[in-house]
Chains A and B, each alone.
Chain A
Amino acid sequence: MRMEAWIFGMCTAFFVLVTPSYWFITGDPTGTSALVMTTLLAALIAFYLGFHASKMDARPEDRIDAEIAEGAGELGFFPPYSWWPLWCASTAAVIVFGMAMGQWWLAIIGTAFGFVALTQWVFEYYKGDHAH
């Protein structure tokens, strides 16, 4: 992960140089605000990757002597199927549509269904057959 941290670190260094230059040349508050936050965006990811790179062992893809087989195994938990993201997105659409149209009753109904959908999504692998 050291390499990824370096890539984002170099982006951070670039924005650290560009942002004050932009401010001194143009005096434009809009672009300067955006550049300050872009600097932080790159710095956040660089810091995160660098922090973990210093605390963890090198991954197979970080080592020159690694074998393909070392990268095998489970990388994470990927639910095989779930309908709840669809319902979460649908209810979010109803809420935003209700707000945009000034129809607050619709947003409230959407929130109620959204609460059910999100709860089912978060707890889907914690109940029924998956209870543990």
Chain B
Amino acid sequence: MAPVATSTAVIPASRLHGHHDRPSMVSVGTIVWLASELMFFAALFAAYFTIRSVSPELWAQDTALLNVPFATGNTIILVLSSVTCQLGVFAAERGQVGRTGSVLNVGGWGLREWFILTYVMGAVFIGGQALEYAELVHEGVTLASSAYGSMFYLTTGFHGLHVTGGLIAFLYVLGRTYLARKFTHEQAVTAIVVSYYWHFVDVVWIGLFATIYLLK
């Protein structure tokens, strides 16, 4: 970046400071949007349970092919990534964007380190899901093979797309922290709303995991 024109525009106060008496509009908007996202997943859950109730024989036959221990490990990684994401948010709330000591000193990690770790864990989850898909396709369960296959891939696939969207959002949060020399309130809010989304996607996965792998 060229070292020019950094003082031409005055940064609006609303990008630098929050309010003491109201949450940021961005986070309120994110929560309302996530509530509507719940309705998107409601349609998927409703379709899953409806088809399951009319064709129980398909479920008896196809759920036996699921690799439950593998999916459990993958789930644990995703749940832990929510923890690391929240630790990143705590760092953002204290205004700490980067680490204070060496990379190995986890206690001194800032927003960037925690979000990079979260990103890696989310990417591992997606990789694990791709492996699982490959295994199931090998066993003959595809999107078109049966109603069970359609529901399995639609529910887990749309969730996987949401996780991928979250991964892209993490990159943009990190990009903003690297592009700006100053860590602003706006960047902290960005990190917080991405964490809301990440926790939401995580909770939806716990619901899907319980439905698909435990309840069957």
Chain A positions within 8 Å of B, measured between CB atoms, are 1, 29-34, 36-38, 40-42, 44-45, 48, 52, 56-60, 74-77, 118-119, 122-123, 125-132
* Chain B contacts with A in 1-25, Cβ cutoff 8 A: 1, 5-6, 8-9, 11-15, 20-25
Which residues of chain A come closer than 8 Å to B11, judged between CB atoms? 130, 132
Assess A58 versus B49: contact at CB under 8 Å? Given A76-B26, A122-B172, A131-B5: no
Which residues of chain B come closer than 8 Å to A132, judged between CB atoms? 6, 9, 11, 180-182, 184
Assess A74 versus B12: contact at CB under 8 Å? Given A44-B31, A59-B21, A123-B176: yes
* Inter-subunit contact B15/A77 (CB<8 Å): yes
* Inter-subunit contact B176/A37 (CB<8 Å): no
Which residues of chain B come closer than 8 Å to A60, judged between CB atoms? 21
User: How near does chain B come to A72, taking the closest CB pair, in angstroms?
Assistant: 12
User: Considering only CB atoms and an 8 Å cut-off, how many residues of chain B contact the other chain?
Assistant: 44
> Which of A29, A123, A130 contacts B49, CB < 8 Å?
A29
Chain B positions within 8 Å of A, measured between CB atoms, are 1, 5-6, 8-9, 11-15, 20-26, 28, 31-32, 34-36, 38-39, 41-43, 45-46, 48-50, 52-53, 172, 175-176, 179-182, 184, 186
* Inter-subunit contact B179/A123 (CB<8 Å): yes
Q: How far is the CA of A37 from the CA of B15 in the complex (A)?
A: 34
> Which of B6, B12, B34 contacts A77, CB < 8 Å?
B12
User: How near does chain A come to B204, taking the closest CB pair, in angstroms?
Assistant: 10
Which residues of chain B come closer than 8 Å to A56, judged between CB atoms? 20-23
Q: How far is the CA of A82 from the CA of B38 in the complex (A)?
A: 30
Which residues of chain B come closer than 8 Å to A57, judged between CB atoms? 20-21
Residue in chain A with minimal CB distance to B36? A41
* Inter-subunit contact B1/A131 (CB<8 Å): yes
Which residues of chain B come closer than 8 Å to A118, judged between CB atoms? 172
Assess A33 versus B9: contact at CB under 8 Å? Given A122-B172, A122-B175, A127-B179: no
User: How near does chain A come to B112, taking the closest CB pair, in angstroms?
Assistant: 16
